[in-house]
Amino acid sequence: MTRIHNFLKKDLLFTLSGLLALAACLIGRGSAGFIDFHVIFTLLGLMGVIKVFERLGVLDYFAEKLIRISDTNRSLIRNLTFLAFFSSMLLTNDIAILTLLPVFLKIVQKSPQFKAKIAGSTLLIVAANLGSSCLPFGNPQNLYLFEHYQLSFIDFCVLMLPFFCLSVAALVLACQFIPAERLMIEAENNPSLNMKNLVLPIAAMLVMILSVLHVLPYEAAVVIAVGLTFIADKGALKEIDYRLLGTFVFFFLIVGNLSEVPAFIAVIQQTIGSFLSVLLSSAVLSQFISNVPAALLLAPFTDQGSALILGTNIGGLGTLLASLANLIGYKVFAGYFPQEKKRLFQLFTLINLVFLAAFIVFFYLWYRIGG
């Protein structure tokens, strides 16, 4: 019983969504038809490959390289921030944070005079969220919405190009507020990668990307990718976040049952009828239930796919609850500096709300001007 209690307590979103799914199925019906297995299995394949890259230390390698070319606090934070931004496009925001934030915090621990550890940690988390938003496979809600609205890869990239450009500009500007003090810490070890170990995971990633682009059927791609992952590093399959997959299944069951309630459909459709209403509603809703559940909840009830993609990705900014990656980053920081987690919460919220407001205003004006 203790082990079950600890398992359920470890991931409250998984537990709560499971309870809500059970209630929904008891009141309505439990049907496998509600579950989008395309998304579930595609996520499984991608998560396995990404876990291999993580265990091989790919991001650690590039982080150590960047430390060696950083001569000030500002350049270190800027370099790690943009590594988080670009790496999260393929390796997802949570992997970027789990890998790069500890690297940054280990450096900070060795340099008591480092004054920007909270701002630097926040910008790294923000960058990982923003970068993961720019490609269909960067985060779970993008993959789901990409498949749900049957977008082409080019259409998705065109849609997110202004988001990408604004992200880069905002991060460059934000990094300018970091003091340019001399960095007194050097990288400890000589980073190296065994290129032979990368062959199979790279091949698996290419197969999964071709699947997302609808070049290969997802069933075959997932089998190939999981097989290559097993050969490359069978331990990676044990470390996949199966609770995230379970959470997706639970939300599919919840939304499937809600979609059969006429009164609920009427209220939702009246609330999110236009581009701007979907954009704002999804961004605001994400602040309370996080952007992945917001995407799963709203997608079946609106044809404004572009607005929902933008809204849920913008919605990853803001509160700690807005994105699961935010909570991951908070927990990592608290593990290194537990006495300063209150200060992190305060500055993290302030910086994120500034980013959130800037992105909402930008895309509001973008839509108004573009018609």
Q: Which two tokens stand for residue 29?
A: 């019906």
Average pLDDT, the chain: 89
Sign of torsion over alpha carbons 355, 357, 359, 365: negative
User: Does 69 score more than 60 pLDDT?
Assistant: yes
What is the pLDDT confidence band of residue 118, given thresholds at 50, 70 and 90? very high
The domains of the chain are located at: 58-192+241-370
pLDDT tens-place string over residues 145-198? 999 999 999 999 999 999 999 999 999 999 999 988 887 665 566 667 788 899
pLDDT higher than 70, residue 235: yes
Least confident range of 8-17, 36-45, 276-285, 348-357: 8-17
Q: Which two tokens stand for residue 198?
A: 């990368």
pLDDT-based confidence at 115, cuts 50/70/90?
Answer: confident
Confidence (pLDDT) at 191: 63
- Among candidates 128, 85, 146, which has minimal Cα distance to 295? 146
Higher pLDDT, 323 or 112: 323
Q: What's the pLDDT score for residue 305?
A: 94
Asked whether the CA dihedral 219, 224, 229, 231 is positive or negative, the reply is positive
Q: Assign 65 a pLDDT band (cuts: 50, 70, 90).
A: confident
SS3 194: coil
Q: How far is residue 147's CA from residue 150's CA, in Å, rounded to a whole number?
A: 5
**pLDDT classification of 311: cutoffs 50, 70, 90:** very high
- CA 172 to the chain's CA centroid: 20
Amino acid at 23: A
Mind listing the pLDDT tens digit for each residue in 316-359?
Answer: 999 988 998 998 899 889 888 999 989 999 999 999 999 999 99
pLDDT at 4: 65
Q: Quick one: the chain helix, strand, coil %, rounded to 5?
A: 80, 0, 20
Residue with the larger pLDDT of the pair 63 and 313: 313
Q: Say yes or no to pLDDT of 123 above 90.
A: yes
pTM beyond 0.75: yes
Band (363; pLDDT cuts 50, 70, 90): very high
